[in-house]
Amino acid sequence: MSRYGSVCWLLCPAPSLPSGEHSVCGLELALDEVGGQAAGRAIIVQVEDSAGNPEQALAKARQLVERERVHILAGVTLSSEAGALRDSVVAAGIPLLVRNAGLPGLTRDPKRRNPLIFRVFFANGQHEAPFGRYADEKLGDRRVVLTGLDYSAGHDKLGAFGRHFQAAGGRIVGEVFAPVDTADYGPYLQRIRQHDADAVFAFYSGVDAVRFVQQYAEFGLLERSPLFGSGETVDESILAEQGEAGLGFVSSSH
């Protein structure tokens, strides 16, 4: 028998992130197709909810490893959860299959990556890096402002775009970060306007993306500084809510 443990945010509210429930359903579907076994061994799945909390994710992971004796651990919705789990699973010698967390250093940093850690999702910055050169060569934007959510994914994604955009000859003239769940983007939009950029590269997701894109258009910035950016900012799950404000947005995604 093989024991498979999954730690994920089962009811993640952000539409740009796959909920843990969806991941678990996909796993169950795959197991059903192979009769619930591999190499002649039955596969037992145990799922624990991280609730988007790194400390809870670590506690649940330790429970699965130390008490349930799982052979493999998977899931991990947020980068903060992945960072919390990393040392524990490596010390236990348990393979970690990351299904969503985009923390790039987990599989890229020579000091953090480990043969036991596998990623089946993109790393933050993976889409934005090539977009930097594309923006310079194809869109013709020379002076760009970066704006996004003020947490690890936002800094990773905007940083990757900025490095490659500047390497191609473009200029980053400003950076504006906003807290998650900002209701009024007025102060941040005013700072963006002051830079008088050719374009604005944005990373927002979920309700933050809806609010930012709508308020950006209402602020009258689209005509002077067109928006482009990460795919989460104008995602199919929120485009209807963004309305015409989301039209014309050029993005990079998978």
> Which pLDDT does position 236 carry in this prediction?
84
Residue-wise pLDDT tens digits, 125-174: 889 999 999 998 888 878 999 999 998 889 999 999 999 999 999 999 99
d(CA 16, CA 234): 9
> Which pLDDT does position 201 carry in this prediction?
97
- E strands, 76-134, where? 96-98, 117-119
Contacts 24+ apart (CB under 8 A), 36-41: 38/2, 41/1, 41/2
d(CA 190, CA 185): 9
DSSP 68: S
> Which pLDDT does position 18 carry in this prediction?
57
Q: Residue 60: CA atoms inside 13 Å, Cβ hemisphere, count?
A: 23
The larger pLDDT score, comparing residue 99 to residue 189, is at 189
Judge whether 2-119 and 128-252 match in fold. Answer: yes
Look up the CATH number of domain 128-252: 3.40.50.2300
Question: Count of CB atoms within 10 A of residue 181's CB?
Answer: 10
Residue-wise pLDDT tens digits, 228-242: 999 989 988 888 999
Segments making up each domain of the chain, as ranges = 2-119, 128-252
Please give the average per-residue pLDDT across 213-240, as a whole number.
92
Tell me: pLDDT of 15 over 70.
Answer: no
Picking from 89, 80, 90, the residue whose alpha carbon sits closest to that of residue 54 is 80
Q: Which residue has the tokens 């020379």?
A: 142
The two three-digit tokens of residue 32, written as one number: 């059903």
Tell me: pLDDT of 176 over 90.
Answer: yes
With residue 201 as reference, give the H or E element that holds it: strand 199-203
Picking from 178, 157, 126, the residue whose alpha carbon sits closest to that of residue 228 is 157
Q: Rounded mean pLDDT of the chain?
A: 90
Topology of domain 2-119 in CATH is Rossmann fold (3.40.50)
Tell me: pLDDT of 216 over 90.
Answer: yes
